[in-house]
């Protein structure tokens, strides 16, 4: 399995190049693209199976000796994230085939999608912090191009804002790498883990950790770095929004989790209070931000901010129960939010709008798509037995067990807001006076939304199974010694 | 020599930050480019050791590494330079696109156009 790790990067790259060469032949391109996405998902599932026993797979790129070369590493966490990205990107690719217009289908959407997948999977698989920077950039480059077809000033402004902000974040990422390199002289994560522990939690090391956290919180949209998210997620084409909200923000979350567990465990203790405070503000800000919106995709975007606050809150508890809750939440949210955004796109295809004031009475006129949206909204609101309920439950349990009563209390109270906005959204969409015409939509759209929405139910009814897995992931994160040893002794 | 590098980095950051806060898109793009140059220089500076001799082995036989700069950040900075070049090119195209369509690159005026 170790030898197959480079395929997570090389596979999408090869697919992107081939798809680029058949540009203009839409059917062939889409067929090949879906085939590559399916193969990628199969590979990710095989990796998940192999890592279940706790084995850690390492591949040395170019066979350079440790710690000079770039390592690809897959533990349970990396395998989980790879599966999640493969599934969400796959479903979005399927959705895009029927969502894009005839002209857009002849363009380069699918090649860019595979470049994006390459960046995401590379970021999850790499064991080298500078290489993580490179894969972040690959991923961002693809999103810059995918974000919009740039029809109007709103979209151009959003693209400009997103690009500038991420450029500054990338500069700070490099500043962080510089600070780290100047102190310990390495960029390999296992080597870093050992040497940072040797240095101890000095103020300079805490500052370095904080630099990385602020860079990753731009990706994970943590207050005060969240301002780009609502317009980027609502103005981009729907399949892209689903990937942005489902997977891309998780890359930031994943990087924070790796920093907290592997690289900077001691410096994180010093910035824990700050991190918890920011997470709580993010939760409140996201929930309050949904209230004045009428655009369905914008409501979902603010709710993404809200949910990310929960995940980072769970990570910032800095104990295995919190990390397990964060992994559970991240997996559940990835499927949930991408199903909701694709559902909004399906709804847009049916009614021609994403404005809630121009919808109404859809329950009787488009029952199947509305039921799919309802499943997602109920789960987002935290209604048992759907996945969203258990996600919140485990976060709150971990918070109270830690004794963080005040912050966990605020988080609990914020749940009421999310209950409120999800129900009003549903009410405005499904009931009320019917407005506008309802058309038809291709089966591929329904299939991709249903595939993702099904996980809200599966992870809800099978919460015990997913939580056990999340605890296994967290246990592996809590004792990083085997991970470090595997990297050192990689053949 | 390290002080010369520090002063250069500081000036680049100051100039970049000033330009980013101006009203025109082209100034924004140039400012961001200067900021990424500053961080690239910083990465080079992190591998600075002693009097900064170039890390080229003079000939066969064992070499004492003391006094040579660390070559690894220099290898990494090449990657970073290429990336910032590509992003700057993309930003310039984006700015050009906005300028051609709305006949202005003044951010305040664009904001008024958005309403």
Q: What is the pLDDT of residue A117?
A: 95
Tell me the pLDDT tens digit for each residue of A187-207.
999 999 999 999 988 999 999
Name every residue whose Cβ is closer than 8 Å to that of residue A134 and which is 6 or more positions away in sequence: A122, B79, B83
In chain B, the number of structural domains is 1
- Does the distance separating the beta carbons of B72 and A68 come in below 8 Å? yes
User: Cis ω on the peptide bond leading into residue A385 (within 30° of 0)?
Assistant: yes
3-state helix, strand, coil in chain A (%, to 5): 80, 5, 20
For residue A136, give the chain B residue with the closest CA: B83
Half-sphere exposure (CA, 13 Å, Cβ side) for A45?
7
Task: State the burial class of residue A15 (Cβ atoms within 10 Å of its Cβ: 0-12, 13-18, 19+).
Answer: buried
User: Cis ω on the peptide bond leading into residue A67 (within 30° of 0)?
Assistant: yes
Q: What is the pLDDT of residue A172?
A: 93
Question: From the CA of B75, how many Å to the nearest CA of chain A?
Answer: 11
- The encoded tokens of residue B21 equal 């806060």
Judging contacts by C-beta atoms under 8 Å, the chain A residues touching residue B41 are none
Q: Nearest Cα to A216, choosing from A207, A225, A208?
A: A225
Chain A interface test: which of B72, B81, B83 (most A C-beta within 10 Å): B83
- Does the distance separating the beta carbons of B97 and A153 come in below 8 Å? no
CA separation for the pair A16, A479 (Å, rounded):
38
Nearest-5° Cα angle at A280, A279 to A286: 85
- The encoded tokens of residue A445 equal 């759209």
What mean pLDDT is predicted for residues A153-168? 86
pLDDT at A148 over 70: no
Quote the mean pLDDT of chain A: 89
CA separation for the pair A175, B39 (Å, rounded):
6
pLDDT tier for residue A237 given thresholds of 50, 70 and 90: confident
For residue B105, give the chain A residue with the closest CA: A157
- The encoded tokens of residue A254 equal 């994943």
pLDDT at A453 over 70: yes
Q: What is the pLDDT of residue A226?
A: 86
Tell me, yes or no, if B28 comes closer than 8 A to chain A by beta carbon.
yes
- The encoded tokens of residue B86 equal 């590509």
Q: What is the pLDDT of residue B80?
A: 92
A337 touches A390 (CB < 8 A) = no
Chain A interface test: which of B20, B43, B68, B110 (most A C-beta within 10 Å): B43
| Coil/strand/helix, residue A12 | helix
- The encoded tokens of residue A304 equal 């993404």
For residue B25, give the chain A residue with the closest CA: A160
For residue B17, give the chain A residue with the closest CA: A168
Q: Nearest Cα to A185, choosing from B83, B76, B53, B58?
A: B76
For residue B88, give the chain A residue with the closest CA: A167
pLDDT at A286 over 70: yes
- Does the distance separating the beta carbons of B114 and A153 come in below 8 Å? yes
Name the helix (H) or strand (E) containing A123: helix A109-125
pLDDT tier for residue A255 given thresholds of 50, 70 and 90: very high
- The encoded tokens of residue A280 equal 């709580």
pLDDT at A300 over 80: yes
- Does the distance separating the beta carbons of A150 and B83 come in below 8 Å? no
| Coil/strand/helix, residue A483 | helix
Tell me the pLDDT tens digit for each residue of A377-432.
888 888 888 888 999 999 999 999 988 888 889 988 888 888 888 888 888 888 87
Q: What is the pLDDT of residue A149?
A: 62
Chain A interface test: which of B20, B65, B91 (most A C-beta within 10 Å): B91
Q: What is the pLDDT of residue A154?
A: 79
Q: Of A154, A178, A185, which is closest to B114 when you measure between CB atoms?
A: A154
- Does the distance separating the beta carbons of A177 and B43 come in below 8 Å? yes
Q: What is the pLDDT of residue B58?
A: 78
Judging contacts by C-beta atoms under 8 Å, the chain A residues touching residue B47 are 181
Question: From the CA of B64, how many Å to the nearest CA of chain A?
Answer: 18
- Does the distance separating the beta carbons of B40 and A164 come in below 8 Å? no
pLDDT at A234 over 90: no
Q: Nearest Cα to A304, choosing from A367, A239, A223?
A: A223
CA separation for the pair A350, A419 (Å, rounded):
26
pLDDT tier for residue A331 given thresholds of 50, 70 and 90: very high
What mean pLDDT is predicted for residues A328-340? 92
Tell me the pLDDT tens digit for each residue of B22-42.
888 899 999 999 999 999 999
Record the pTM: 0.93
CA separation for the pair A41, A254 (Å, rounded):
19
Name every residue whose Cβ is closer than 8 Å to that of residue A15 and which is 6 or more positions away in sequence: A32, A33, A36, A114
A 84-143 residues with CB below 8 A of B? 130, 133-134, 137, 140-141
What mean pLDDT is predicted for residues A115-139? 94
Most confident of A64-73, A313-322, A347-356: A313-322
Write out the residue range of the structural domain in which residue B48 sits. Answer: 2-56+65-114
Name every residue whose Cβ is closer than 8 Å to that of residue A153 and which is 6 or more positions away in sequence: B98, B101, B102, B110, B113, B114
pLDDT at A231 over 80: yes
pLDDT at A152 over 80: no
- The encoded tokens of residue A278 equal 């920011």
Q: What is the pLDDT of residue A303?
A: 92
Chain A interface test: which of B29, B90, B110, B112 (most A C-beta within 10 Å): B90
This complex has an ipTM of 0.92
For residue B74, give the chain A residue with the closest CA: A178
Q: Label each residue of chain B as H, E or C.
A: CHHHHHHHHHHHHHHHHHHHCCCEHHHHHHHHHHHHHHHHHHHHHHCCCCCCECCCCCCCCCCCCCCECCHHHHHHHHHHHHHHHHHHHHHHHHHHHHHHHHCCCEHHHHHHHHC
Measured between alpha carbons, how far is residue B55 from residues A188, A367, B6, B70, B77 in Å?
21, 69, 21, 7, 15
CA separation for the pair B76, B70 (Å, rounded):
11
What mean pLDDT is predicted for residues A154-158? 82
Tell me, yes or no, if B47 comes closer than 8 A to chain A by beta carbon.
yes
Name every residue whose Cβ is closer than 8 Å to that of residue A46 and which is 6 or more positions away in sequence: A1
Q: What is the pLDDT of residue A192?
A: 92
Q: What is the pLDDT of residue A430?
A: 81
Q: What is the pLDDT of residue A334?
A: 92
Judging contacts by C-beta atoms under 8 Å, the chain A residues touching residue B32 are 164, 167-168
Q: Which residues of chain B have pLDDT under 50?
A: none
- The encoded tokens of residue A211 equal 């630099």
If one compares A85 and A3, the residue with the highest pLDDT of the two is A85
CA separation for the pair A175, A170 (Å, rounded):
9
Handedness of CA A337, A343, A349, A355 (dihedral sign): negative
- Percentage above 70 pLDDT, chain A: 99
For residue B9, give the chain A residue with the closest CA: A175
| Structure-derived torsion over alpha carbons of residues A39, A15, A57, A69, reported in degrees to the nearest 10 | 180
pLDDT tier for residue A173 given thresholds of 50, 70 and 90: very high
- Return the CATH number at B28: 1.10.287.3510
Judging contacts by C-beta atoms under 8 Å, the chain B residues touching residue A153 are 98, 101-102, 110, 113-114
What mean pLDDT is predicted for residues A248-255? 94
Q: Of B40, B42, B83, which is closest to A137 when you measure between CB atoms?
A: B83
Tell me the pLDDT tens digit for each residue of A203-229.
999 999 999 999 999 998 898 888 889
């Amino acid at each position: 399995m170790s030898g197959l790790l480079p395929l997570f990067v090389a596979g999408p790259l090869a697919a992107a190049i081939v798809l680029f060469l058949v540009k203009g032949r839409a059917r062939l391109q889409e067929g090949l693209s879906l085939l590559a996405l399916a193969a990628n998902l199969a590979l990710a599932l095989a990796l998940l199976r192999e890592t279940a026993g706790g084995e850690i797979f390492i591949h040395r790129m170019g066979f350079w000796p440790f710690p000079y070369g770039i390592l690809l590493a897959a533990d349970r966490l990396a395998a989980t994230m790879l599966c999640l990205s493969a599934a969400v990107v796959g479903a979005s690719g399927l959705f895009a085939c029927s969502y894009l217009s005839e002209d857009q289908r002849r363009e380069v959407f699918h090649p860019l999608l595979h470049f994006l997948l390459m960046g995401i999977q590379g970021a999850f698989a790499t064991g080298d912090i500078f290489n993580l920077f490179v894969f972040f950039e690959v991923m961002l480059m693809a999103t810059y191009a995918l974000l919009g077809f740039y029809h109007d000033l709103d979209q151009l402004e959003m693209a400009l804002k997103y690009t500038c902000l991420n450029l500054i974040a990338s500069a700070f990422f490099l500043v962080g790498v510089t600070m780290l390199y100047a102190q310990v002289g390495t960029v390999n994560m296992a080597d870093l883990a050992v040497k940072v522990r040797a240095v101890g939690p000095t103020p300079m090391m805490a500052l370095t950790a904080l630099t990385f956290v602020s860079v990753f919180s731009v990706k994970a949209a943590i207050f005060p770095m969240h301002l780009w998210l609502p317009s980027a997620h609502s103005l981009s084409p729907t399949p892209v929004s689903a990937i942005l909200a489902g997977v891309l923000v998780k890359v930031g979350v994943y990087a924070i989790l790796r920093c907290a567990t592997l690289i900077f465990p001691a410096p994180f203790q010093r910035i824990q209070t700050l991190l918890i405070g920011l997470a709580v503000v993010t939760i409140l800000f996201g929930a309050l931000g949904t209230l004045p919106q009428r655009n369905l995709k914008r409501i979902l975007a603010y709710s993404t901010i809200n949910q990310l606050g929960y995940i980072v809150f769970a990570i910032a508890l800095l104990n295995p129960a919190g990390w397990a809750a964060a992994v559970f939440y991240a997996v559940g949210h990835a499927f949930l939010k991408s199903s909701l955004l694709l559902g909004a796109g399906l709804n847009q295809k049916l009614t021609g709008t994403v404005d809630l004031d121009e919808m109404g009475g859809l329950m009787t006129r488009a029952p199947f798509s509305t039921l799919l949206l309802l499943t997602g909204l109920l789960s987002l609101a935290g209604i048992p037995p759907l996945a969203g309920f258990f996600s919140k439950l485990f976060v709150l349990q971990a918070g109270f067990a830690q004794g963080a009563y005040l912050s966990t209390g605020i988080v609990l109270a914020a749940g009421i807001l999310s209950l409120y906005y999800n129900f009003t959204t549903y009410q405005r969409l499904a009931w009320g006076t019917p407005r506008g015409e309802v058309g038809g939509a291709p089966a591929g759209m329904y299939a991709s939304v249903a595939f993702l929405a099904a996980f809200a139910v599966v992870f809800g009814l099978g919460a015990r199974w997913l939580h056990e897995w999340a605890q296994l992931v967290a246990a592996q994160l809590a004792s990083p010694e085997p991970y470090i040893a595997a990297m050192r002794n990689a053949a | 020599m390290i002080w010369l590098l520090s002063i250069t980095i500081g000036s680049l950051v100051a100039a970049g930050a000033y330009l980013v806060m101006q009203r025109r898109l082209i100034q924004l793009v140039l400012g961001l480019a200067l900021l990424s140059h500053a961080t690239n220089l910083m990465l080079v500076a992190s591998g600075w050791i002693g009097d900064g001799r170039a890390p080229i082995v003079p000939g066969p036989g064992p070499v004492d590494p003391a006094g040579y700069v660390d070559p690894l950040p220099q290898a990494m900075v090449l990657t970073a330079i290429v990336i910032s070049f590509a992003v700057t090119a993309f930003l310039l195209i984006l700015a050009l696109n906005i300028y051609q369509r709305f006949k202005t690159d003044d951010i305040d005026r664009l904001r008024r156009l958005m309403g």
